[in-house]
Amino acid sequence: MFEKQNNRSLKELLSYLLLCCAFLALTGSVYGQGIERTKTERKIVRPQKPFNKIMPNLRQGDFAVIGNTNQYYTNYNPALDNTQSMRFVDIDNDPTTVNSSMAELKIPGGANTKIVYAGLYWIGTIPKGLEEVDVTVDNKTWKLNKRKVKLKHAKNSQYYDLVDVESDYNYSGRVYTSKVDITDIIQENGEGDYYVANVASDLKDNEEKITGWGMVVVYSNESMSWRSINLIEHMGYYSSGGGKSIATTVYAINKGDIHLNIGYIVGGATKVYDNDYLIFKNENNEQFKLSHSGNSEDNFFNGSIYLTDSKRLPKYVDNAGMDIGMMEVPNPNNTVIKNGDGIYSIMPSVKHRQEHFYMPALLSSVETFVVDVLPENFIQSGVVDNGTVGPGQEMVWDLTIRNVSGQEEARGGKIEIPIPPSLHYISSSIDQTMDVTGTVTWTPPVGATSTDSSKVPGGTLVWTFGKKVPIADINKILGKLTYKLKVVDCTILSTTVNNLMSGFDLNGTLRVLGQNGFDDEMKSPLVKTPGTLENRNFEDFSATFSIPECPDIVNGVKIYEEFCTLPANVIARAKILGDYPPGTKFYSVVPGTANYEQSEITGDFAANETGIMYYAIAPGFGENHYMKLSAAYKGLTSTPTVQNEEFCISQPVILHNQPSQAGLKLYYFDSATATTPLANPPAPTTAGVHTYYVAEGELIDGTYCLGPKKAFTLTGTYCTFKSRINPNFSIEKK
């Protein structure tokens, strides 16, 4: 942990909160943000777990080791061990430090390289059981704590004050080791010269003395080869007949030269004693003694710091008990570690009875292989990539898989295809004659109230592999899924806002696990043919919609109208629901505005003569991708054709009024304000002009639905009747 303001805990908290917010934004409510038609960069992703200091880690990258000694011999005698007189090294010209040294950290790859993990380890000697020790240098007494140390980058004027709150490694006698995670510091400062100061040691005469430090940095870069990286901390105390080895399970590449790197931080060994070794044992139990230009096979731990092309200050040959190094294990023609080997051991060893040392950290990395399955999504019929389709059009794809790693089986495989909300899933089938079969399922979008894909667009299609994807020729197709999708109907295409229905983009995700490698997981988009292994085309399959003029849709609004229905000014819910996916929710307020959810329509739809606007969100759509509809209730506005009539008193009144359209009936009124029709058509019995009113319509469930009234007149007169026998004879009734 840091006493200086390094903000590590704050960063972790903020990272956690951002992760939670991202998760909520992705899952959200049923009617969250929806799917935008935006182009997304798609690439293979291999999820990286936090760096594991016990199990091997799969990374594109490697590690670096640096360090230095903070003590040196007062009067160097190569015939003596570390009990001879020592003095502190102090090179930083800083009055706040009593010992200090520098080492340069180099990280390849520039800005594209990311720091995965960094640890600072220091080792010193104080009386066993004590946390602190007082040391006097140049008449000034310093209180040094074994759990505290200082670290800074050369570009900074001040040190970070670091505190080890976890380690408790006091070994035999006076030696301790401590460690702090400094990942944040290295991520912030990058490569360059690092100083470490105030390592606690008492430099007591005639006692073993060690004062020094080492740094481990694990980095990743997508342009680098895959390696299995292993870090073991606090390996312990090694003496004649004591100590332990580290056995690592890895899976080296099956083809090509294998490069194995080893790094170590060791304190306590001396040049004067030999018979100490670093032994590599391969899967066949063959043992090889290691060495580099600064030591020998029989005196590996001799106070040498082997860091090629790296500055140190001071830069001694004999580093007074500190051994730090990074080296490649010689492997001519893969004779030491062979293609496909799965286990090797690294064994520090001591045979000299007076030699002993302490190992805070040991690392290894070896080139390995990763799972690589190629999913190719071929369009077979119905449309071409970047083509045009219309409502109800069906399309068929073939989805095939190949194992292109050539080295590793894949397990736990499945492919998920999120179906755009503009498409219906119709059918699918797996070729049962191939190596990989399995099952295929379609799941409706969240919020859908039906599992009928012909009614519910969108959802997710999942092909779960029934067995491992075997190692095979990279050109061999190992499995095939054929699936059919259909464009939604004209209503959904025409009334959905914000460009969701301008077209569709289709892709999916392959997920597989490696059979052998630790943490070896692959997530890959589907490859759009044509594609190559070197330059895979992960772009979405895309098409544009050609939308014709749809019935009952005006300016992107679905119009629902009722004429003379009961109850009046209402459109029945059942009439509207059938045109939308099951589970669609309707609102009277525009989605996305404040508290719009409170306007949800759960019953029938109120209507008026001009139309009331409503907004529909189907399952899988977002609140910014709603559909528009209007509910209008219209009574009759037509009037019948009328004719004024004349009639003779005492004679039947004959009317010639006619409805304007078939199926309507005529209803008569004796005044313009009357609400109840006459029981019978008017038939006045007195002379004169009589005004009546007629409307057309019908009687529905005991209620009249009528258009406007129209006036007409009936004029009654006394008529003269002439005798047919004697035309000169007539009777006029008065």
Q: What angle do CA 395, 396, 397 make, to 5 degrees?
A: 130
User: What pLDDT is attached to residue 576?
Assistant: 96
Average the pLDDT over each of 25-29, 145-149, 568-572, 600-604 and give the range with the smallest value. 25-29
CA distances from 697 to 209, 633, 703, 707 (A): 112, 16, 11, 6
What mean pLDDT comes out for the span 66-72?
97
Domains of the chain as residue ranges with CATH: 8-30+47-367 (2.60.120.260), 373-545 (2.60.40.740), 553-634 (no CATH), 645-720 (2.60.40)
**Virtual torsion, Cα 332, 334, 336, 340, nearest 10 deg:** 170
Query: For tokens 């409307």, what's the residue?
Result: 695
- Residue 280 to residue 500: CA distance in whole angstroms: 61
Query: At residue 356, does pLDDT exceed 80?
Result: no
User: What pLDDT is attached to residue 19?
Assistant: 32
| 3-state DSSP percent of the chain in helix, strand and coil, to 5 | 5, 45, 50
Contact yes or no for 615/587 (Cβ under 8 A): yes
Query: At residue 412, does pLDDT exceed 60?
Result: yes
Higher per-residue confidence, 716 vs 531: 716
User: What pLDDT is attached to residue 10?
Assistant: 33
- State which H helix or E strand residue 73 sits in: strand 71-73
Phi, psi of 507 (to 5 degrees): -155, -175
Contact yes or no for 119/216 (Cβ under 8 A): yes
Sign (positive/negative) of CA torsion 470, 472, 475, 479?
negative
Higher per-residue confidence, 190 vs 36: 190
**Virtual torsion, Cα 238, 366, 230, 150, nearest 10 deg:** 80
302, amino acid identity? N
591, amino acid identity? P
Strand 373-381 relative to strand 527-528, pairing: parallel
| Strands of the sheet with 169-170, listed across from one edge | 169-170, 175-181, 114-125, 212-220, 57-69, 226-239, 356-367, 260-267, 322-328, 305-306
- Residue 493 to residue 235: CA distance in whole angstroms: 66
Could you give the maximum distance between any two Cα atoms of the chain, in Å? Answer: 172
Sign (positive/negative) of CA torsion 698, 702, 707, 712?
positive
What is the number of H-type helices and E-type strands within the chain? 4, 50
User: What pLDDT is attached to residue 165?
Assistant: 86
Per the structure block, which two tokens stand in for 575?
């009439």
Reduced to 3 states, what is the DSSP secondary structure of residue 697? strand
What mean pLDDT comes out for the span 291-298?
90
- Residue 538 to residue 393: CA distance in whole angstroms: 25
Tens of pLDDT along 715-734? 999 987 655 665 565 555 44
CA 716 to chain centre: 89
Query: At residue 125, does pLDDT exceed 60?
Result: yes
Query: At residue 386, does pLDDT exceed 90?
Result: yes
Higher per-residue confidence, 406 vs 510: 510
Contact yes or no for 690/660 (Cβ under 8 A): no
Model pTM score: 0.65
User: What pLDDT is attached to residue 733?
Assistant: 46
Higher per-residue confidence, 406 vs 77: 77
pLDDT level of residue 516 (50, 70, 90 thresholds) = low
Q: What angle do CA 342, 285, 239 make, to 5 degrees?
A: 110
Query: At residue 546, does pLDDT exceed 90?
Result: yes
Q: Which residues contact 305 (CB under 8 A, 6 or more apart)?
A: 67, 68, 69, 294, 312, 316, 319, 322, 323, 324, 325
Q: Which residues contact 517 (CB under 8 A, 6 or more apart)?
A: 58, 228, 251, 368, 369, 370, 371, 408
Strand 710-717 relative to strand 645-648, pairing: parallel
Tell me how long the chain is.
734
Reduced to 3 states, what is the DSSP secondary structure of residue 344? strand
Tens of pLDDT along 13-68? 333 333 333 333 323 333 333 334 455 566 666 655 566 655 567 788 999 999 99
Cite the beta strand spans of 370-478 per DSSP E: 373-381, 387-389, 394-403, 410-418, 423-430, 439-443, 460-464
**How many Cβ atoms from other residues are within 10 Å of residue 309's Cβ?**
6
Q: What percent of the chain has pLDDT over 90?
A: 58
User: What pLDDT is attached to residue 369?
Assistant: 78
Strand 627-634 relative to strand 645-648, pairing: unpaired
Query: For tokens 């200091």, what's the residue?
Result: 53
Task: Tell me the DSSP string of 413-431.
Answer: EEEEEEPPTTEEEEEEEE-
User: What pLDDT is attached to residue 342?
Assistant: 66
Query: At residue 249, does pLDDT exceed 70?
Result: no
Query: At residue 244, does pLDDT exceed 70?
Result: no
**Cis, bond preceding 567 (omega within 30 deg of 0):** yes
Per the structure block, which two tokens stand in for 671?
């005044």
Contact yes or no for 150/198 (Cβ under 8 A): yes
Burial grade of 246 (CB within 10 A; 0-12, 13-18, 19 or more): middle
Higher per-residue confidence, 27 vs 361: 361
pLDDT level of residue 612 (50, 70, 90 thresholds) = very high
Reduced to 3 states, what is the DSSP secondary structure of residue 112? helix
pLDDT level of residue 292 (50, 70, 90 thresholds) = very high
Reduced to 3 states, what is the DSSP secondary structure of residue 57? strand
What mean pLDDT comes out for the span 640-652?
94
User: What pLDDT is attached to residue 279?
Assistant: 84
Per the structure block, which two tokens stand in for 642?
């009328």
User: What pLDDT is attached to residue 378?
Assistant: 94
Q: b or e along 584-620 (b: 16 or more beta carbons within 10 Å of the residue's beta carbon)?
A: bbbbbbebeeeebeeeebeeebebeeebbebbbbbbb
- Residue 658 to residue 396: CA distance in whole angstroms: 58
Per the structure block, which two tokens stand in for 530?
């044509």
Phi, psi of 667 (to 5 degrees): -130, 130
- Residue 526 to residue 539: CA distance in whole angstroms: 8
For residue 599, the 8-state DSSP code is G
